[in-house]
Amino acid sequence: MATNVWLRAPGLAALALAASAAAGPRDPLYQWTDAAGAVRYTTEIERIPLGQRGAAVVVADGHGVAPRATAPSAAQPAPPPDTTSPAPASPDEPAPAPVEAQPPPAAAAAPVDDAVAALDARIAELERSIAADEAALADYISDPERVKRQHDSGDVAAIADRLPHLQDELRALRKQREAAAGATLNAP
């Protein structure tokens, strides 16, 4: 007997409702957490309550995964101006060559602790897994033909269950990594 995926994963029903039926394939996918702590997804920022919009992140832009950034807002500062290539003093003088950024000597010479390397490897693995899950959700939600793809809904339910746990684990590992890096820098 087949189980109804909507009954098995109530969060998936909210996920599906949050996605607009008219969502185009290039709409960004926003992730936000509601007042009850449930992770939600939508392709329309207007569907996110005003109080949570500032904390919403774009997890996938179109079909690709976007870098983690806050949702668009008028309060975001402009990026700093590029200062690597100064303008020539006069039209007759050539512009100086751009200066390439070099890591500080201490950072380049610092040995990597085995525990830190293991944390870095697990963090990278989680980031890849999360990115793949977010891209799959974005494809599913952005597809106007998703009603015809009911066979994929089980995969989406599994992703909806798994993704918040992976994100929690990633946050915890990043905190451990920061603490380990701080301890390494303060070591004699």
Write out pLDDT tens, residues 22-63: 444 557 888 878 887 788 888 888 888 888 888 888 877 654
pLDDT of residue 70: 41
pLDDT of residue 87: 53
Gap between the Cα atoms of 144 and 114, Å rounded:
47
pLDDT of residue 2: 47
Residue 184: Cβ-neighbour burial (10 angstroms; 0-12, 13-18, 19+): middle
- Average of pLDDT values for 63-73? 46
Q: Please count the other Cβ atoms lying within 10 Å of the Cβ belonging to residue 28.
A: 19
Instruction: Say if residue 141's pLDDT is above 50.
Output: yes
- Average of pLDDT values for 142-165? 78
- The pTM score is 0.45
Instruction: Say if residue 136's pLDDT is above 70.
Output: yes
Instruction: Say if residue 15's pLDDT is above 70.
Output: no
What does the mean pLDDT of the chain come to?
69
Name all contacts of 64-71 with Cβ < 8 Å and 24+ positions apart.
64/135, 65/131, 65/134, 65/135, 65/138, 66/28, 71/30, 71/32, 71/45
Place of tokens 């983690």: 68
Q: Which of 67, 74, 65 is nearest to 45 (CA)?
A: 74
pLDDT of residue 36: 79
- Average of pLDDT values for 147-153? 66
Q: Which of 91, 159, 166 is nearest to 122 (CA)?
A: 166
With vertex at residue 186, the alpha carbon angle to CA 183 and CA 188, rounded to the nearest 5 degrees, is 115
Tell me which amino acid residue 158 is. A
DSSP summary character for residue 146: G
Gap between the Cα atoms of 135 and 23, Å rounded:
15
Gap between the Cα atoms of 188 and 185, Å rounded:
8
Our CA dihedral for 58, 64, 68, 69, rounded to 10 degrees, sits at -50
Gap between the Cα atoms of 127 and 122, Å rounded:
9
Structure tokens at 2: 């087949």
pLDDT of residue 69: 43
pLDDT of residue 14: 47
pLDDT in tens, 156-186: 888 888 999 999 999 999 999 888 877 665 5
- Average of pLDDT values for 107-128? 80
- Average of pLDDT values for 83-110? 54
Instruction: Say if residue 148's pLDDT is above 90.
Output: no
Q: Which of 176, 64, 163, 66 is nearest to 123 (CA)?
A: 176
pLDDT of residue 151: 66
